[in-house]
Amino acid sequence: MHGKLPTLGEIGTLVTSGSRRRRYIIYAVTLLAIAGALYFVLAPSATQQRRAGRFGADAGPVPVLAAAATLADVPVYLDAVGTTKALNTVTVRPQVDGKLLSVSFKEGQDVKKGDVLAQIDPTTFKAALDQAVAKKAQDQALLNNAQNDMARYEQLAATNAINRQQADTQKSLVAQYTAQVQSDQAAVESAQATLAYATIKAPIDGRTGIRAVDEGNIVHASDSTGIVTITQLRPISVLFNLPQQYLSQVNDAFAKAPLKVDAQRSDNDAVIDSGTLTVVDNQVDASTGTVKLKADFPNANLQLWPGQFANVRLLIDTLKQVVTIPTGAVQRGPNGTFVYVIKDDNSATIRPIVVQKQDETQTVVKSGVAAQERVVTTGFARLTDGSKVTIGSNDGTPATPAGQRQRGQRPAGSTGERAPRADGSARPATATPPAAPQ
């Protein structure tokens, strides 16, 4: 029913054939492993040869862009963000109560000191002045009569025609009338001032804002809003803060000469106005660790507006005749900063440098590069120490070996004069290549 069972001999034959098959598989895997190891040992030499043929010396010099180190005066700035504030701001308020008859200015108008801005009904103030003048005239007449009587009494008393006491009494009466006339004069002056307050004038030069009161309204000296606000825009001030660690540098430079301050646009850093530092605050803000400074700007074109934020830079020093290179030429490695310097044989060599000052476009080199030495600004991917290079240009022209040019072509910016080599021999002068693109 279930078929014939295998004998012991057949079972032994099957086991033997399975063991052989496993041995064959092990042998094959071992051979493949050995072959793979030999491939990885021997293949790199061929791969390196192919890479050398593609990227090595057979590919020719490495194309790069370069720039010459130059000597220049480099300004040292401290940057900050400031708030623009009007040099003077005055809220024009009435000094007397009354009806506002007229407004003589337009909103946003430039006014001069003394210009009439508004007129309050002066009727009652004129009446008070006339009354004071009349009272003074009355008392002045009494004084004049008393002085005449005193002169006569003095003559009679001298001849003993009258009692001396009567002359002294008249003299006292003259003094009383004199004091009364002086009081009347003060009342006249007060009435004149009150009448003058009815005519509201501009206290400073500046620009008017939005009018707060219209004609026909009753205004009071106690009004807090006033009639209009006048803001002085020329000149104008900018307040800004600097960290306290710069305080000593600012004070030292400020003690020597007035410091220049530039106000810049926030979008492209273009200078919109230049002014001078006027005040360094007398204390440091303990909560922020900063000190407040104030600078005044002419603001001739009204580029600055009160309440506006502005980028400012404070010039505290100028580095005289220092070596500068494009910032794009500066590289950083495990041992610090370095540059690739192009030698006279058109090869690039690594040169460690010490950076004194650096910004987005320019780097001041304290040591490591001399003026007129050429440094690589673009093309570092294939560049190594000692690589041959060709210097290209930013205008899309093909790269040519450093120091060479096509027949009849003169490098841009070259004067045609021959500059001496380091060994004293003459060589063609080279122009300063364009700065590396950022």
Is 287 exposed, middle or buried, given 0-12, 13-18 or 19+ CB atoms closer than 10 A? exposed
10-residue mean pLDDT series, the chain (438 residues) = 51 53 72 70 44 50 94 95 95 96 95 96 96 96 92 84 84 93 96 97 96 95 94 96 96 95 89 96 96 96 94 95 95 94 94 93 94 94 92 54 40 36 37 36
Q: Identify the CATH assignment for 321-428 out of 3.40.50.1820, 3.40.50.2000, 2.40.420.20, 2.102.10.10.
A: 2.40.420.20
379: left (phi over 0), alpha (psi -120 to 50) or beta: left
Which structure tokens are listed for 137? 């005239």
Domain locations in the chain as residue ranges: 8-49, 77-86+236-317, 88-116+204-231, 122-197, 321-428
pLDDT at 208: 96
pLDDT at 38: 64
122-197 CATH fold: Helix Hairpins (1.10.287)
pLDDT in tens, 124-173: 999 999 999 999 999 999 999 999 988 888 888 888 877 888 888 888 99
> Strands 309-326 and 362-367: what pairing?
antiparallel
Q: Identify the CATH assignment for 88-116+204-231 out of 3.40.640.10, 2.40.50.100, 2.60.120.10, 1.10.3720.10.
A: 2.40.50.100
- CATH code assigned to 77-86+236-317: 2.40.30.170
How far apart, in whole angstroms, are the C-alpha atoms of residue 354 and residue 252?
A: 26
pLDDT at 288: 95
pLDDT in tens, 56-97: 444 689 999 999 999 999 999 999 999 999 999 999 999 999
Asked whether the domain spanning 321-428 has the same topology as the one spanning 88-116+204-231, the reply is no
pLDDT at 19: 61
- pTM value? 0.64
